[in-house]
A and B are shown apart, each in its own frame.
Chain A
Amino acid sequence: MSRPQLLQLAIPLVQTYGFTRAALSHSVFRLPKPHSEQLSDSAVTALFGEGNDARKTLIDAWLEDARQHMRASPSPTIKAILTQRLKQNEPVLQFLPEAFALLASPTNGLPPLDPLPALKHAGSVADEACHIVGEHNIGLAWYSRRATLGAVYAAAELHQLNSPSTVYDFLESLLDSSGKVESALQDAGTFAGYIGRSWAGIIKSRGPF
């Protein structure tokens, strides 16, 4: 019985108990040799941290597990992979707003809100999606691609928290518009390149001043 093993066993219990210390303490019932009693509060604290730290550990483990499940998507396209990830949210949808709020609240009270966990979450989903599809980006395109996909996924997830039935259409429309924005930016860049080269030609042909 190890900490990672118990964490893995607690993940399916989130549907029933939410992202709570209860889910962690009931994980011992799912061991190959189940315990007769759930873990005591002090045992949960010793293994996973005290108070909300234990809940944050469980949330991180659940998010990591959901990222692993992205690979089970039926087709290796960005849309299918992000859809697959959104589907992972469905069984625990009512617990997610509190989970995200927990991640955003700092352990010490200052600063008031910590945006980094949310950015890391969206960024890692985007990174996993790019990796599964096999996209090869170098340089700053690596960052811009993940920023775009992270923003699309974050918007879709927020939409899902409010209106779960329309989220897949929303995701599709977001991916379409982000694709249009990317190609518009690329066209603008090409056009700017042409203008720049024309000016360079004009300046060269004017000869020495």
Chain B
Amino acid sequence: MATAHPPTSNPSSVYLDPDKCGDPAVTTTPPNLPQHQRHALDSALRVDQAGELAANYIYMGQMAVLGRDPVTGPLIQDMWDQEKKHLAVMNKLQDQHRIRPTVLWEVARVAGFGLGAVTALMGKEAAMACTEAVETVIGEHYDDQLKEMEGLPASHPSVPVLKSVIEEFRDDELGHLDIAVENHSQRAPAHALLSTVVGAGCKVAIELCKRI
């Protein structure tokens, strides 16, 4: 059984290290970005923050139902702890780059919890299938963002940090995807239907959060 423990020093730890809280790489945003790039960065980080928020609540919903299961419980708890860390870093990025958070904040919380709880009630495999579908969409989304971020000015210290943080989060989410598959997500009842519905829902949510 694979666990979700990352190496101890990774790019995002600079945001969680109290000694580094004055570092310009974590406190300043590139000045004088062209309007379209600023807008793209704003919507990208807004979606990422909403995604991490929803992921937190999905795992919370799944834990509410499956928390007592001896195998699945600790697994979900592990993945949830990583998502909590992701959300903390995203909140710091929000302040740093002066991002407007999504208006759908409360909706993301409720919908995430609902999705997690409902799929967990359908069974352990369904919960894993939900995780698989969500992490697939998120992993691809982070990948697309990394390609868009190629255009940001690499001379500003915050940009390489941002790119490495997004890379790290992408790898974490794909790690969760692997864990879900290893834990029999493919055996879930109506796996194809469930994955399609959850995946489509995630894509709609991403498009909405980009705009509002």
Contact = CB atoms under 8 A, between A and B. Distances in A.
Interface in B107-129: none
Contacts of A138: 91, 94, 101, 105
B100 A140 contact: no
B98 A127 contact: yes
Interface string A125-145: 001000100001011101100
Interface residues of B, number: 9
Interface residues of A, number: 8
Contacts of B105: 138-140
B81 to A, nearest CB: 19
B103 interface: yes
Nearest to A146: B100
Interface in A108-139: 127, 131, 136, 138-139
B95 interface: yes
Majority secondary structure, B binding face = helix
Chain A at the B interface: SS class: helix
Contacts of B106: 139-140
Contacts, number: 18
A143 B101 CA distance: 9
Interface in B41-78: none
A138 B91 CA distance: 7
A84 B100 CA distance: 24
A142 B98 CA distance: 11
A131 B98 contact: yes
A122 B101 CA distance: 18
Nearest to B108: A139
A143 B103 CA distance: 8
A131 B99 CA distance: 11
Contacts of A136: 91, 95
A183 B105 CA distance: 22
Nearest to B98: A131
Nearest to B27: A134
Contacts of B103: 140, 143
Contacts of A142: 100-101
A139 B103 CA distance: 8
Contact of B101 (A127, A131, A139): A139
Given A131-B98, A136-B95, A143-B103, 12 more contacts: A127-B98, A131-B95, A136-B91, A138-B91, A138-B94, A138-B101, A138-B105, A139-B105, A139-B106, A140-B103, A140-B106, A142-B101
16 contacts: A127-B98, A131-B95, A131-B98, A136-B95, A138-B91, A138-B94, A138-B101, A138-B105, A139-B101, A139-B105, A139-B106, A140-B103, A140-B106, A142-B100, A142-B101, A143-B103
Interface of B: 91, 94-95, 98, 100-101, 103, 105-106
Interface of A: 127, 131, 136, 138-140, 142-143
